[in-house]
């Protein structure tokens, strides 16, 4: 899959979570290439092409890159941790200092968003005593 990313972010093996389109870009001739990814999904840059374009948003312009969708680590309640199951993340964690905070509140995942459990990695130690498992979502 081909898309555009900011020059400073265009490094092989970098990963990012696509957060959606920007209203500032609605008149750009390249918007269809920039906005061809799925909101909330994680991508890894597999190849960088030499072509550069000017961009109103990214200082230094954008580069054409090839990306592949990767799995998103997250925490789910143990009772919902079933490989192949489609779920939505609804954990409400207020403990920002917790080592697992970003598993419970993954960046880019919106409330009610449906994701499929691809793999169960194991138990998570939760200071709030919730029974959680780390999973990989697609």
Summarised one tens digit per residue, pLDDT across range 25-59 is 989 999 999 899 988 889 999 999 999 999 999 99
Cα(45)–Cα(66) distance, rounded to whole angstroms?
Answer: 6
Cα(67)–Cα(93) distance, rounded to whole angstroms?
Answer: 31
C-beta separation of 116 from 92 below 8 A? no
Read off the pLDDT of each residue in 85-91 and give the average, rounded to a whole number: 85
Cα(136)–Cα(118) distance, rounded to whole angstroms?
Answer: 6
Residue with tokens 């269809």: 32
**pTM for this model (two decimals):** 0.75
On average, the pLDDT of the chain sits at 92
**Who contacts 86 (Cβ-Cβ below 8 Å, separation ≥6)?**
114, 115, 116, 117
């Amino acid at each position: 899959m081909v898309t555009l990313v900011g020059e400073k972010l265009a490094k092989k093996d970098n990963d990012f979570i696509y957060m959606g389109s920007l209203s500032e870009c609605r008149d750009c001739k390249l918007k269809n290439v920039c906005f061809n990814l799925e909101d909330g999904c994680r991508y890894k840059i597999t190849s960088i092409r030499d072509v550069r374009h000017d961009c109103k948003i990214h200082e230094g312009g954008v580069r054409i890159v090839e990306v592949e969708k990767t799995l998103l680590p997250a925490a789910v309640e143990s009772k919902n941790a079933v490989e192949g199951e489609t779920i939505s993340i609804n954990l409400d964690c207020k403990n920002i200092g917790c080592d697992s905070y970003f598993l419970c509140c993954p960046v880019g995942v919106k409330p009610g968003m449906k994701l499929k459990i691809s793999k169960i990695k194991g138990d998570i130690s939760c200071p709030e005593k919730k029974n959680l498992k780390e999973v990989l979502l697609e």
